[in-house]
């Protein structure tokens, strides 16, 4: 779950990490009132859960109150990569001496956290990392020791800081590690961390992604995830999420439902291999109940573009009889009458097939055969 900059900055403050003075506004007037309490120049920053807002015009600067009002009016309501801007963060613009980069995330290979840092931060950090990897410090964190003060000082030293500044930076780095641990985050980042002309270190941007699987330990954020207005997900995606389904909307006309991310992806690949266009990705996950299958069918069928639904289930922890019941329930409940191609094999396969064939639904055994058939129907209708 991605947090907004303002949420992340409030967390930074709680952990003693300096941030520019600022507040959140949802209207140009409010932005103006906030600005009157701050020192100019002022930055007005769109609060959206996608990266690249700066390049999309979501960050503006103001030298006087009328410019604040104008900028806020321009940004609020703006659409950035499909997401509407509902609020802006209004803060003092920092006198920048240099921009640093510091981040902690997950390293799959080393199976632990890894700290990344550079003395040349900012929006081009990825390019810098690729072209001049020597400017990026990669520091795997050993779970046995955690991230100690001496580790933090080693990193500060590697990016060129000594003395009091090294200690100051190290303390900020360590606070970031406390955040990733306490919040079950998979990413905590400051880019840039600004060194001001007056020698202070201040986090000009803040980014936190919480591990979705750990949200049961953080109910306050879990609640926010499902509030449609502030969510990074579309309404359909949210509905799916609440039912424990992974749904991604695509552009085609073949509705896809399967179990297991790998199999669903392979199903999309197979459909495209035969010249068809998937309307969505929907993974019902492991051990799906009849209710979950019903919910999945409802979501996919609600897409007006869909003219055939391809259900590809290979039962392991998922039981074919449950899937079959879910399909029957959905047909009755939503009165769904578009064609369906069903491929069903695995645990309790016989019972599942029996239930479906009694309802007059034909079941195929090969995924490739089923994909080909779904594509044919999507293009020419039922044979």
Partner 1 sequence: MGIIVNRNTKVIVQGITGTQGRFHTKAMLEYGTKIVAGVTPGKGGTKIHGIPVYDTMAEAIEKHEEANASIIFVPAPFALDATLEAIESKMETIVIITEHIPIKDSIQIMHLAKENNTTIIGPNTPGIITPGECKLGIMPAHVFQQGMVGIISRSGTLTYEIANSLTQAQLGQSTCLGLGGDPIVGLNFIDVLEMFEKDPHTKAVALIGEIGGNLEELAAKYIQEVNYPKPVAAFIAGRTAPPGKRMGHAGAIVMGKAGTAQTKIEALKAAGVEIAEKPGDIAKILAQKLRT
Q: Which residues bind partner 1 (CB under 8 A)?
A: 51, 101, 103-109, 111-114, 116, 125-126, 129-130, 136, 138, 143-144, 181, 184, 186-187, 189, 191, 207, 209, 211, 213-214, 216-217, 248, 250, 258-263, 265-266, 268-270, 272-273, 278, 281, 285-287, 314-317, 319, 345-347, 349, 366-368
Q: Given CA atoms 298, 304, 307, 313 in this order, what sign does their dihedral have?
A: negative
Q: Which is nearer to partner 1, 220 or 337 (CB)?
A: 220
Residues 6+ apart with CB under 8 A from 72: 25, 27, 28, 31, 32, 44, 88, 90
Q: Which residues pair with 308 in a beta bridge?
A: 254
Smallest gap from residue 137 Cβ to partner 1 (A):
11
Residue 239 token pair: 């509905």
| Token output for 108 | 């799959």
Min dist. Cβ of residue 110 to partner 1 (A): 9
Shortest gap between Cβ of 17 and partner 1 (angstroms)? 17
Q: Which of 28, 89, 20 is CA-nearest to residue 59? A: 89
Nearest distance from residue 114's CB to partner 1, in Å?
7
Indicate the residue among 3 and 25 with the shorter CB distance to partner 1: 3
Nearer to partner 1 among residue 112 and residue 199 (C-beta): 112
Q: Based on CB atoms, which residue is closest to partner 1, 24 or 209?
A: 209
Q: CB of 272: closest distance to partner 1 in angstroms?
A: 5
- Return left, alpha or beta for 146; rule: phi > 0 is left, psi -120 to 50 is alpha, else beta: left
Kindly write down the DSSP assignment for every residue of 140-193, as one continuous string: EPPTTT-S-HHHHHHHHHHTT--HHHHHHHHHHHHHHHHHHHHTTEEEEEEEEE
Q: What is the DSSP letter of 10?
A: H
């Amino acid at each position: 779950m991605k947090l907004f900059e303002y949420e992340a900055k409030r967390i930074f403050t709680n952990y003693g990490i300096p941030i520019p003075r600022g507040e959140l506004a949802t209207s140009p007037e409010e932005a103006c009132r906030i600005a009157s309490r701050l020192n100019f120049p002022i930055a007005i920053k769109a609060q959206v859960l996608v990266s690249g807002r700066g390049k999309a015009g979501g960050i503006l600067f103001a030298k006087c109150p009328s410019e604040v009002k104008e900028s806020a009016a321009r940004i609020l309501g703006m659409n950035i990569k499909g997401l509407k801007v509902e609020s802006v963060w209004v803060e003092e613009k920092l006198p920048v001496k240099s921009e640093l980069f510091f981040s902690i995330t997950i390293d799959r290979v080393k199976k632990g956290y890894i700290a990344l840092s550079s003395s040349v931060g900012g929006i081009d950090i990825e390019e810098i990392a690729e072209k001049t990897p020597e400017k990026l410090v990669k520091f795997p964190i050993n779970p046995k020791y955690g991230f100690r003060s001496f580790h933090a000082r080693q990193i500060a030293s590697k990016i060129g800081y000594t003395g009091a500044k090294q200690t100051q930076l190290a303390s900020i780095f360590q606070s970031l590690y406390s955040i990733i641990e306490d919040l079950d985050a998979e990413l905590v980042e400051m880019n840039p961390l600004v060194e001001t002309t007056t020698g202070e270190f201040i986090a000009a941007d803040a980014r936190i992604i919480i591990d979705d699987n750990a949200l049961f330990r953080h109910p306050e954020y879990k609640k926010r995830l499902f509030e449609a207005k502030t969510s990074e997900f579309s309404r359909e995606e949210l509905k799916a999420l609440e039912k424990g389904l992974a749904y991604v909307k695509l552009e085609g006309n073949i509705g896809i439902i399967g179990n297991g991310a790998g199999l669903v992806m392979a199903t999309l690949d197979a459909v495209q291999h035969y010249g068809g266009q998937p309307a969505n990705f929907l993974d019902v996950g492991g051990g799906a109940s009849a209710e979950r299958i019903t919910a999945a069918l409802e979501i996919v069928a609600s897409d007006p573009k869909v003219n055939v639904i391809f259900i590809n289930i290979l039962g392991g922890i998922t039981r074919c009889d449950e899937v079959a019941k879910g399909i029957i329930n959905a047909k009755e409940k939503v009165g769904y009458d578009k064609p369906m191609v069903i491929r069903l094999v695995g645990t309790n396969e016989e019972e599942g097939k029996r239930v479906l064939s009694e309802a007059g639904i034909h079941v195929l055994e090969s995924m490739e055969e089923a994909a080909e058939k779904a594509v044919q129907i999507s293009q020419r209708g039922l044979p």
